[in-house]
């Protein structure tokens, strides 16, 4: 029997995390930008789990479990986050980010922060985030310069 690495998320946990992050970073069909679900979320999260301090990795895992198991309590639907529609996932996350318990809000923000670092690190996304190069308003030349 092969033992599972405790510092890696399981397939189920990765599915839950991908569902949550796809609601946070859906992309834009109008601009031709894929959402985070089209990226290697499990690979990234397993790298995070392996390379970050234990407490950060534990917080990430707990955040994934909170999002996964919150629908019965928040939306009154006896399902996990993967069975929700995109709009329901967004509503779930909005309510968790406004939860009265500080620890719940901060754990969901931790998940969102790791997702933002991954999403904004993609070359296609970064290209959209950079403003176009602006021409200088004034061009200065030294006297006698040939430019």
Q: Do 80 and 13 contact (CB within 8 A), yes or no?
A: no
Contact 36, 77 (CB under 8 A): no
Which residue carries 């931790």 as its tokens?
Answer: 110
pTM, rounded to two decimals = 0.83
pLDDT digit string, tens, across residues 60-116:
999 999 999 999 999 999 999 999 999 999 999 999 999 999 999 999 999 999 999
Q: State how far the Cα of 120 lies from the Cα of 27, in Å rounded to an integer.
A: 11
Question: In this structure, are residues 67 and 81 in contact, taking their beta carbons and an 8 Å threshold?
Answer: yes
For 33-44, write each residue's pLDDT tens digit: 889 999 999 999
Contacts of 95 by beta carbon, 8 Å cutoff, 6+ apart: 74, 75
């Amino acid at each position: 029997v092969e033992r599972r690495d405790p510092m890696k998320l399981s397939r189920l946990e990765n599915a839950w995390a991908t569902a949550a992050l796809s609601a946070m970073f859906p992309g834009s069909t109008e601009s031709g930008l894929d959402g985070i679900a089209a990226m290697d979320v499990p690979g990234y999260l397993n790298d995070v789990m392996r390379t970050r301090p234990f407490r950060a990795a534990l917080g990430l895992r707990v955040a994934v479990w909170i999002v996964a198991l919150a629908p019965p309590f928040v939306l009154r639907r006896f399902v996990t986050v993967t069975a929700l529609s995109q709009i329901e996932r967004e509503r779930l996350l909005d309510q968790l980010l406004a939860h009265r318990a500080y620890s719940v809000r901060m754990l969901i923000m931790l998940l969102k922060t790791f997702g933002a670092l991954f999403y904004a690190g993609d070359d296609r996304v970064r290209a959209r985030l950079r403003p176009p190069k602006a021409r200088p308003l004034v061009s200065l030349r030294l006297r006698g310069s040939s430019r």
